[in-house]
Structure 1
Amino acid sequence: MKNNMNTKKSLLAIAAATMLLSACSKDKDPETTTPVDFNALKTEVLTNFTNNIAVACYKDLSDASDKLYSSLEALNTSATDANLLAARNSWKSMRTVWEQCEGFLFGPVEDNNYDPNMDTWPTDYVQMDSLLNSSASLEVSDIEQVTLSLRGYHPIEYIIFGDHGARKASEITDRQKKYMISLATDLKNTCHALHTSWTQAPENFAQQVLTAGTGSNKYAKKQEVFIAIVDGMTGICEEVGEGKMKEPFDAQDPTIVESPYSGNSLADFKNNIIGLQNVYLGKYTTDGKGLNDLVAEKNKSLDNKIQAAMTAAINSFDNVTVPYEQAIVSQRVQVQAVMTALGTLKEALDGELKPFVIQYITD
């Protein structure tokens, strides 16, 4: 009899507990997730890319060109080592912005030849010395007509850094100063034009991107501009790994490295890849919707793979601990590892991200 009573009490306790749990469960709202509007997300990504990455980066580049010009004017007026150092720092700061802008090389920067007009390398220093030793005019209008390797960043680099940064302010000649100021003016004009090509009539390229598929004269479909973005990312990855790095590496020739006078080449390369990462993540000075959000919505494992490849490529540069013109001889294993990482990233972008865009962005 005692055992039966205990059994009944146990059953009653279990029943009460079950009813209590059931009541609690009913009181608690079930978790719900709001489905993502993929079409709206595509528009968000393009808007963020246009306004917060492309236009913002080109505005920073335009501002940096003004700062470089001002620092070179100060050096021209007073050739002190302090002013020379300030000019070098301004040059490097501008390079950081420009190299990140190269993460999306499409549109006016290519169509209007802004890129080669300001960033052709290597500098033909023999021809440049010949120009400087001549009596040829060095006005801005003259600079606009010279061969591309005598315009833009790298002749300025040569003048203010000299061989491996050995130039002293007192060594800069009057002809070099004249050439330097005209170069800086030409570079500033190019950067201003690049920025306004995205923001003002008649080109207003930002509107061509924002209205892709809905009235754009350039892009009949959103898919077309997304492909252009991905191709730009792939292109700079290929240019760094198979051009900027591989050509001097194979030849073991420091004279064909991108920025040999300043020792800035590795920073240039790394900032190129940071630039394409900015595009993918939708992140520059602000963090918005990026391609990663679109990819993660449909294929999270692919997003993880692409982000891991980007991180690995960017981090690999840190293993090269000497200037690139030295590393192609003394740290070839580390340099090869960087190029391998860039090759892996390029394959992910061209072989998987681009097909993703073609499959899922059809409008």
Structure 2
Amino acid sequence: MGCFKILIVFTVILAIALLPGLPPDLDFTPFSTKEPMELSGSMAPNDLLNGAERLFEGEIDAPEGLAVWNGTLYTGNRQGDILKIVDGKMVKITNIGHQCEGYWEDRKCGRVVGINFDSKGYLYAADPYYGIYKINVDTGKFIHLIKTDVPIEGKTVRVANSVAVAKDGTVYWTSSICTNPGVDVEDAVVAIFADGNGRLFKYDPIEKTNKVLIDKINFANGLALSPNEDFIVVSETVQCRLLRYWLKGPKQGSADVFIDGLPGIPDNIHLIKGGLFEVSLAQPRTKQQPLPIDSLAPYPLVRRFIARVLYYLELPFQTIQEFTPTHTLEFLLTGSTTLTSSSLYFINGFA
């Protein structure tokens, strides 16, 4: 009987890993990540972040992007609010989301992730579920510039992530997940086990059209323009590297690797003083402590199995959330119906 049970389990595992057509309907092929660089020289560990001050702890839910205009700090939250910090207080400018019961319905509420200002002081915000917005921070009025429900070059945007605006008004933005129409995958935890399907886009505000600049990015994330706007840098999160797309010069229209083997998962990118790029690493990664994806990258069947298991584990919770849009799902997943403990951090004199 013991052997029979083992055989059944083994058969189920093979079926989940090998049967065609089972969701999530994504591609899985072998790839590799570069070994993380040594933490020495300019990369040696330091204590610059140890003196960070927590701001608005417990008052703001999941702030992601940060942007500064005329000395004022702006951010957003998981309810779709655009916020600014004035005289030590958090002030709501507007809400780009949709009517909903609360933060547990973030797919309905909307959520602010990457934000950036253009040269005229308009704020651009990426909402993973709805797309890119342009906001007048003085009046609170906004327009829905780019919508995710319209396929772009044959694929549907599932997770709009970050945005940057050139001096001429051209909008560059990323989507971490892009799928064929009808393939509904919005969960980053599931998608990171698949092949890269993220994209870097260019939006022409005159023609109101989008163009894919880089395809098949392994979870496209933050981005930033160079000081002269001759290239743009994009975080490829799963590969732990930064990509560069040339906008001007002899390499115009081509992409290459800007830096590889980062000692962590790259997220947001900001251009700071001296023409330097400041990159946030969401999780550390060393030779002694590699990430799970480093080990799993060459094994597509294992990655497919994990992705499918995670997908099916989430299905009952998604069903509950769809038919009972209350605290129920939050309670089942975390045992709590309170806001997550989020904060903004201030580091005096840093960058």
Tell me whether the two structures share a fold, i.e. TM-score over 0.5.
no
Higher helix residue share: 1
Output the TM-score relative to the length of structure 1.
0.25
**Higher-RCO chain (CA-CA 8 Å, sequence separation at least 6):** 1
Higher strand residue share: 2
Larger radius of gyration: 1
